[in-house]
Chain A
Amino acid sequence: MKPSVILLLLILPTILLVSSAPTLASSIEPWLNPRAYNISYGDDVLVYYVEDFQFGFRVRAIQKGNVEIIYPQTEFSARMVFQKGDSVVFRVKTIDVVHGFNIFHYLPTSEGTNVIVPGEVYEFGPILMNVPGKFKIRDPVPCDALNPFEYGDIVVEPNNIYYNLLLMTIATAIATLLYITLALNRTFISRELDLLGIPLIGGFLRGLLKWRGSTFLLQLLNLAVFLLIIIAGLIGNPTGGMNFSITVVWVLWFAAVEFMIFFGGRVWCTMCPMPVLGEWIARRRIVEVSRKWFSLNRKWPERLDNMWISAMGFLGISLFIVWITTRPIATAILFVFMILIPIFLHLYNPKRYFCRSVCPANYIGYHANASILAVRAKDRETCVRHRTKECASGSPTGYGCPWELYPGGNNDSTYCGQCFECFRSCPLDNMTLKLRMPGRDIPKVALQKTTRKIRYDEVWMGFIRFSLAIFYELIFFGTYNKLKDWADMNRTWGANWASVGVLTPTVGDLADWFKWAILVSGISLILFPAIFYTFSWAAKKVAKSEISTNRIFAAFSYSLAPYGQLLWMSFAVALFLVNWARPLNSFLDPFGFNWDVLANVGLDKFQWHPLFEDQIIMLEAPFVFAGLFLGIITTYNIGRELFRDAKKALKSTAVMTILYVLCALIVIWIIAG
């Protein structure tokens, strides 16, 4: 026999064997064989054989009645679709470690955690799928570092909630456009209320804000929490969900800040502990006002006086978000840098350049103009006439604006850190807090920032924040387990300082992470901006405008400030409702050492279970609609400033609305579809 024939005879069976391996493996695994159980279900009962594994769930086989078995290929995502009225049995097995198996509404954690131990097959059901909608499968047992991301989806058709939400998205857009059309020449969202002018409350609030101790006390409290976060991250329980550093920062703070932005602008920056040590050292004072700096007091380089570092910092952190939100040591290291860097920068220049240009949380500033609160002059004319302008230069009672603004003339909240120094330094008490419609100043700000030189740093901060709002929803609550695995560099363990070595990735892990990093950066830095540019170009054509596409593109991008903010709030709602118990438990047991510091007063730790698990989707969706509404209205207002023509503004807004609606539909699809 010829050698080539022998080779072929050897290779052929191998190829056949390998190609048939998955089917063979599926069919011969005893736990997937219905005859092995000796249990008879009715013909209309569906039996789902579900594998529980680190990072998710996988359907291995579906049995209809007692006979027919289908082996689905669901390697990538865990999604099970049923019809209303289906009767379903889940046979669940873990292929690695101990897991849990609970389903929102159908097998709720409040009725007990279903622990799945290796080696056993667990049966749940028959469950009558009588409520249509989308429900999460969740593993409530801390099984590995990525456990907080472990989800599967169950969809019971007809998923009318989803279809209705899709329709409502489109209806919101049409209604908003109609509203604009019917009141074409009206300037929307222009009203303001002087909060400190309200009798009694206003006076009290002004007194509080002018008192230097108010900011100090808030900063001190947060500084203590901040240092505790670092210590817990270094020496506390390596499992993120049990460590103060993770739960308080990435559930409580992360969710709270999104709401703070909308209701209070940069109010987080008022109390932020990150730059305070640097600031106190540079000022040589903590609460008093000094005239001498402990700082080189050099000029901040103009090239760096923008948001590029912050935007890239936020994107960079997001690329490691799976590690940072699950490994206490990663959060601790991040926060150590967030204290050290401002100290060094304040020694170079005593003003808040760290906050203006470096802090990754500077996205707060990007969205601040979408807030309903702003620091503004009570009366602009008074500021114009006032010669000495202590709000900018300082007085014995207050520093000149540490954020290097002229507060009296400021109409842009982006870089106003709400430190209230101008309230303290202004001898005429002319600074105040204004309550307004969200996005009121955005049109003017967008025009200013695209007139002489386009602020591409802020424009890209907008794109990064907007696209990541959608990505975070997908990563935190979606079922694309492979994606999570890549982002996690396939690591299993949580880590503190003592066990940081377990995070060392292999070359293959790094290669996987690169796939994830390229995907996320590609979408937020290139793909989404490119799509936005295309729509801006189309908007220009439809409006028959002479203005350059670049300028329209940049100006319209500011409408993502309110829209993106509302999407983040929608994410924050789900984040908090699902994980609320973890940060609360961390206050009773900060290091995750199984303490309960209030046991003596009878306060037990909370058992993990989602709040309003049947309503989460309905609580998230209104934020998406509100974001869409504000995005469209803001685009129209920007268009009016830009084109100086209501009709052109309307036409271009209609084009941009198509993009906004598509984005909203994607979000609705992720949360409800």
Chain B
Amino acid sequence: MRRGLWEWLALIIVLLTVGGVLLTPLFIPFLDQYFIKAEHPDAIVVKGYVGQHGGYEPKIIKVRANETVRIAFYAMDLPQSLSIDALNLDTGVVVPEVTEEKVIEVKFTTPGIYVFRNTVPNGPMSPFQIGYIVVEGGQK
């Protein structure tokens, strides 16, 4: 029995739906940037996952010396913070679903590698939740 028009149409719709949903992961980085960046287009978005994904995403941020940059910090799973000891800067506790993301401004004068970390105790993985800011010297 040959397939009729409706059957072909249904097959195409099914393939498009299944394919479309299964291919979603490919578009996530784009969608992620689009939906998150929309709130703070001029900021570097940092997401915190306590004890997972290496703690922060991205784990390494590159900035230039003497440049002021804004970091928008999102707590993704548990309450947490982003703290830069070298600048004595701390977002304070950011609670998912409760507090909004925190935006901080940072400016490094000396090139080097600086650590940022979570100062909120939230389980055994807390001490491992660190990221790095690589400050490059010279002009742009």
- A, B from the same assembly: yes
Seen from chain A, the residues whose Cβ lies within 8 Å of a Cβ on chain B are 96-98, 100, 113, 115, 117-119, 140-144, 212-213, 216, 220, 223-224, 227-228, 231, 235, 237-239, 242, 280, 285-288, 290-292, 492-494, 498-499, 502, 585, 591-597, 599, 605, 607-608
How many residues from B make CB contacts under 8 Å with A?
A: 46
- Asked if B11 contacts A113 (CB within 8 A), the reply is no
Complex: A231 Cα to B93 Cα, angstroms = 30
Complex: A97 Cα to B123 Cα, angstroms = 6
The distance from the CB of A224 to the nearest CB of chain B, in whole angstroms, is 5
Chain B residues with CB under 8 Å of A498's CB are: 52-53
Contact of B32 (CB < 8 Å), options: A212, A239, A593? A593
- Asked if B101 contacts A594 (CB within 8 A), the reply is yes
Contact of B78 (CB < 8 Å), options: A142, A228, A235? A142
**Which of B7, B32, B38 gathers the greatest number of chain A CB atoms within 10 Å?**
B7
Contact of A286 (CB < 8 Å), options: B10, B95, B98? B10
B36 within 8 A of A: yes
B121 within 8 A of A: yes
Complex: A162 Cα to B125 Cα, angstroms = 44
Can you give 29 A-B contacts (C-beta < 8 A)? A97-B120, A98-B78, A98-B120, A98-B122, A100-B95, A100-B98, A115-B93, A115-B98, A118-B121, A141-B97, A142-B97, A143-B122, A144-B123, A216-B10, A223-B17, A224-B18, A228-B21, A231-B22, A242-B77, A286-B10, A286-B14, A493-B52, A499-B52, A593-B36, A594-B36, A594-B101, A595-B35, A595-B36, A597-B35
Chain A residues with CB under 8 Å of B6's CB are: 212-213, 287-288
- Asked if B79 contacts A115 (CB within 8 A), the reply is yes
A-B contact count (CB 8 A): 145
Contact of A227 (CB < 8 Å), options: B21, B47, B74, B101? B21
Chain A residues with CB under 8 Å of B38's CB are: 599
Instruction: Knowing A231-B21, A231-B25, say if A115 contacts B52 (CB, 8 Å).
Output: no
B86 within 8 A of A: no
Complex: A607 Cα to B92 Cα, angstroms = 21
- Which B residues between 45 and 78 are near A, CB-CB below 8 angstroms? 47, 49, 51-53, 74, 76-78
Which residue of chain B has the shortest Cβ distance to A142 in the bound complex? Answer: B96
Q: A98-B79, A288-B7, A596-B35 are in contact. List 9 more A-B contacts (CB 8 A).
A: A96-B121, A98-B93, A142-B97, A223-B18, A286-B7, A498-B52, A502-B51, A593-B36, A595-B32
Chain B residues with CB under 8 Å of A493's CB are: 51-52, 123, 125
Chain B residues with CB under 8 Å of A595's CB are: 31-32, 35-36
The distance from the CB of A613 to the nearest CB of chain B, in whole angstroms, is 18
Contact with A along B94-133 (1 / 0, CB 8 A): 0111110100000000000000000011111100000000
The distance from the CB of B124 to the nearest CB of chain A, in whole angstroms, is 8
- Asked if A227 contacts B18 (CB within 8 A), the reply is yes
Chain A residues with CB under 8 Å of B74's CB are: 594
- Asked if B123 contacts A141 (CB within 8 A), the reply is no
Which residue of chain B has the shortest Cβ distance to A589 in the bound complex? Answer: B35
Complex: A424 Cα to B122 Cα, angstroms = 59
Complex: A223 Cα to B14 Cα, angstroms = 9
Instruction: Knowing A288-B4, A594-B101, say if A96 contacts B123 (CB, 8 Å).
Output: yes
Contact of A608 (CB < 8 Å), options: B11, B21, B97, B125? B97
The 10 closest A-B pairs by CB, nearest first: A98-B79, A595-B35, A97-B122, A227-B21, A286-B10, A239-B77, A499-B52, A288-B7, A287-B10, A113-B98
Contact with A along B11-24 (1 / 0, CB 8 A): 10110011011101
- Asked if B76 contacts A140 (CB within 8 A), the reply is no
**Which of A96, A224, A287 gathers the greatest number of chain B CB atoms within 10 Å?**
A287
Complex: A141 Cα to B22 Cα, angstroms = 32
Which residue of chain B has the shortest Cβ distance to A220 in the bound complex? Answer: B17
Complex: A285 Cα to B2 Cα, angstroms = 10
The distance from the CB of B57 to the nearest CB of chain A, in whole angstroms, is 10
